[in-house]
Amino acid sequence: MTIKCISCEETLEKDDYACVTIGEDAGEPLCWDCESDDLAEAVVSAKKTSDGETYCCGNYTSYAEDPDIESYFDTVKWTSTDAWRGYYSGSCPPGYKKVANTWFCGTDGFSPSDEFDALHSLFESDKLDDLDVIYAFPRTSNVFSTGLEVYVRNNHVELFKSLLKEV
């Protein structure tokens, strides 16, 4: 049986390849070149405030050490809005609630969300260090704009909302 890379379809040597780690193709073979390119062009980065580490995922792999971020990365998918455009997005990890789903412009900071400035200030502060809040930044086809999804652990939602009102 011939083993092929799921990404570039190159024929692989037996026992000398990586594997897809996330999504519905988890466990499928991936050549080392595609594995290395995958995280070099990450599609989402995410940080849990109580953990402080920023993790990335590509289309095929992620090595997030946080189980909540890992399960979020597992759901990330591309949505096409037309032949050339689209965006990546994920779904709420178990035990969390989605509190924001918007986008912002990387050059002037514009966001259509009324809460964006408050979300940004909270993210930059140390007020969330004891809470499980995941800030995820999925890529879009527009190089100037980035998605923003915020998920809060169920029992931290009320406190998060009150902190958001204070900033």
Angle between helices 116-124 and 157-166 (to 10 degrees): 100
Q: Which of 18, 20, 22, 34 binds Zn ion (CB under 5 A)?
A: 34
Angle at 100 between CA 98 and CA 105, to 5 degrees: 145
Query: Residue 55 corresponds to which tokens in the numbers above?
Result: 């993790």
31 is an interface residue for Zn ion by CB under 5 A:
yes
Which of 131, 107, 102 is CA-nearest to residue 119?
102
3-class DSSP state of 162 = helix
CB of 88 to Zn ion, least distance (A): 20
In the complex, the smallest distance separating the C-beta of residue 43 from Zn ion, rounded to whole angstroms, is 17
Q: Which two tokens stand for residue 27?
A: 């466990």
User: CB of residue 10 vs Zn ion: minimum separation in angstroms?
Assistant: 5
Which region, judged by CB under 5 A, interacts with Zn ion, from 34-42, 81-89, 111-119, 130-138? 34-42
Candidate residues 7, 21, 59, 146; the one interacting with Zn ion per rule CB under 5 A: 7
- If one asks whether residue 18 binds Zn ion (CB under 5 A), the answer comes out as no
What own/partner pairs with CB < 8 Å and gap ≥ 24 does 155-158 have?
156/131, 156/132, 157/97, 157/99
* Nearer to Zn ion among residue 62 and residue 111 (C-beta): 62
Q: Does 20 bind Zn ion (CB under 5 A)?
A: no
Q: Which residue number, 1 or 83, has a Cβ lying nearer to Zn ion?
A: 1
